[in-house]
Amino acid sequence: MTPHIERLPSGRFRVTIYTGRGRRERRTLPHGVPSKREALILARRLEKQIQLSALGLEPSPPKSARGWIDVASEILAETELRNGRDWRYSCHAFVKRFQTFAGDRPAETVSPSMCRAYLLTALQQGRNPSTIRKEMSFLKRIFRRCVEERLCPANPFEGLELPSEPPARPRYLTREEFAALLAASPPERRYRYLLAAHTGAELSQLRALTWRDVDFERRLIHLRGRAKGRGGRRGSYAVPMTETAATGLLARSGPLQGSVVTIGRNYAKHLALDCRAAKIRPIRFKDFRHTYGSWLAQAGVPPMHIRDLMGHADLGTTQIYAHLAPTADYGATAALDAATPRRIGKVIEVG
């Protein structure tokens, strides 16, 4: 018979299982069971164990000793193929830390309370909130795979309250740093950095940029890309072509067809080498986009115009550059001083 499942007001599931000889038994499942489907899987396991115990039998051992460490190894290999070796090293450190804390126990014995204790330990050690969020997300991915392979009834990292990440101001290049980077870079990469900083294009947009997207007559560069979610980037939009960008584009040799710029898989490594040669703090390729927005804000361009030039779908995304805007005119607030009584000694003056 199929176990009966109901959700309690606390969010936990209570199952009614058939124990044999017409008897039924109610069990309340622990926290962390995400769905009714997972509760049904766990209820059937409990039902089988109780029925075997009533007959004086022991459940048969699993056919394989596959554990969460094996699942983690597979996901690490997938991560290296998809994101590169650097990501694998970082995620491998996440796995080793949790393995040191929890040991090589079976996946089904890793409980939500153990995961909360691990999170608390990470916070007490003073680890960066951003790193903690990435680590918990990767471990949650591992145990999600374990649930899919029925190595554990539920994901113990599901519903874990992660620390909030403080909003970080974007890293951008000053004009002196950008000039030093261009001087220290080979011609092909120099052209790539110049175009990125003068269009605000993302890496995927530069890779998709063709000469048909460059309109010299109207001085526009059409950037294409898939639309993102709320607060992200719009689909396709055009940015004005700066004189510097136009000069760089016209200086290119060869036929004006196909891709405007070629960016390989080692772009991050080359950027790090160029930053080291220029003796500036390392940056990510995305920081060229932040440089574009920061320079616009420093020039006094209104936020709504920056939003349109950068293709933001939400003005709130553009506000990360608000602190770089020129100092506001305090003349308007001087009217408040004129209407406020000021006590000087025993005399009250009204401006």
User: What number of other Cβ atoms are within 10 A of residue 318's Cβ?
Assistant: 22
- In a domain, residue 343? The reply is no
Distances (CA, A) of 22 to 19, 64, 329, 338: 7, 34, 83, 88
- β-pairing, 13-20 with 4-7? antiparallel
Q: Tell me, letter by letter, the H, E, C secondary structure of 252-272.
A: CCCCCCCECCCCCCCHHHHHH
Classify residue 169: in a domain, yes or no: no
Pairing between strand 23-28 and 4-7?
A: unpaired
Same domain, 130 and 253: no
Residue 4 per-residue DSSP state:
E
**Are 193 and 311 part of one and the same domain?**
yes
- Show the tokens assigned to 160: 């874990």
How crowded is residue 124: how many other Cβ atoms within 10 Å of its Cβ? 8
Closest of 256, 236, 234, 235 to residue 246, by C-alpha: 256
Provide the pLDDT for residue 127.
87
Are both 74 and 96 inside the same structural domain? yes
pLDDT for res 179: 94
pLDDT over 70, % of the chain = 81
Question: How many domains does the chain contain in total?
Answer: 3
Our measurement of the distance from residue 99's CA atom to the centroid of its chain's CA atoms, rounded to an integer in Å, reads 24
Q: Alpha-carbon distance 59 to 47, whole Å?
A: 11
User: Which is more confidently placed, 132 or 165?
Assistant: 132
Asked which of 16-20, 78-82, 272-276 is least confident by mean pLDDT, the reply is 16-20
> Three-state DSSP class for 138?
helix
Mean pLDDT of the chain: 81
Q: Name, of 38-52, 94-108, 155-169, the range with top average pLDDT.
A: 94-108
Q: State whether 272 and 223 are in the same domain.
A: yes
Report residue 351's pLDDT band, with 50, 70 and 90 as the boundaries. very low
Same-domain status, 124 and 255: no
pLDDT band at residue 296, thresholds of 50, 70 and 90? very high
Its domain, for residue 290, covers 175-324
* C-alpha–C-alpha distance, residues 260 and 175, integer Å: 24
Structure confidence by residue, pLDDT tens digits, 308-330: 888 888 888 888 888 888 865 54
The pTM of the full predicted model, rounded to 2 decimals, is 0.52
Contact predicate 155/137, CB 8 Å: no
Distances (CA, A) of 45 to 19, 41, 60, 170: 12, 6, 12, 51
Angle at 27 between CA 21 and CA 28, to 5 degrees: 170
Distance CA 300, CA 51 (A): 75
Q: Which helix (H) or strand (E) holds 240?
A: strand 237-240
Res. 61: pLDDT tops 70: no
pLDDT over 90 (residue 45)? no
Assign 3 to helix, strand or coil.
coil
Question: Binning pLDDT at 50, 70 and 90, where does residue 175 land?
Answer: very high
Note the pLDDT of residue 253.
66
Instruction: Determine the pLDDT at residue 231.
Output: 45
Residue 167 placed within a domain: no
Query: Is 254 inside a domain boundary?
Result: yes
Predicted confidence band of residue 57 (pLDDT cuts 50, 70, 90): low
pLDDT by residue (tens digit) across 253-282? 677 788 888 888 899 999 999 999 999 999
* Domain termination residue (choose one: 148, 167, 202): 148
**Domain check: are 144 and 257 in the same one?**
no
Asked if 206 and 279 sit in the same domain, the reply is yes
**More reliable by pLDDT, 198 or 82:** 198
14 and 124 inside one domain:
no
Helices 129-148 and 68-83, packing angle to 10 deg: 120
The yes-or-no verdict on residue 331 having pLDDT over 80 is no
Tell whether 74 and 212 lie within a shared domain: no
In a domain, 260, yes or no: yes
CA distance 150 to 44: 12
Same domain, 214 and 110: no
- Among 39-48, 65-74, 79-88, 245-254, which stretch is predicted with the lowest mean pLDDT? 79-88
- pLDDT-wise least confident of 17-26, 68-77, 161-170, 218-227: 17-26
Range with the lowest mean pLDDT among 18-27, 145-154, 268-277?
A: 18-27
Does 249 score more than 90 pLDDT?
Answer: no
What distance in Å separates the CA atoms of residue 110 and residue 32, rounded to the nearest whole number? Answer: 11
The reply to whether 350 falls in a domain is no
CA 136/CA 133 separation, integer angstroms = 5
Kindly state whether residue 211 falls inside one of the protein's structural domains. yes
* pLDDT over 70 (residue 32): no
pLDDT of residue 261: 87
Q: What is the per-residue pLDDT across 208-233, written as a single tens digit (0 to 9) for each?
A: 899 999 999 999 999 986 544 444 45
Same domain for 28 and 81, yes or no, is no
The predicted pLDDT at position 63 comes to 46
What CATH number does residue 307 fall under?
1.10.443.10
When pLDDT is averaged across residues 13-24 and rounded to a whole number, the result is: 75
Residue 55 has pLDDT above 60, yes or no: no
pLDDT of residue 37: 77
Written as six digits, the tokens of 254 are 């060869």
| Same domain flag for 251 and 220 | yes
Q: For residue 50, is it within any domain?
A: yes
Q: What does the DSSP assignment read for 271-294?
A: HHHHHHHHT-----TTHHHHHHHH
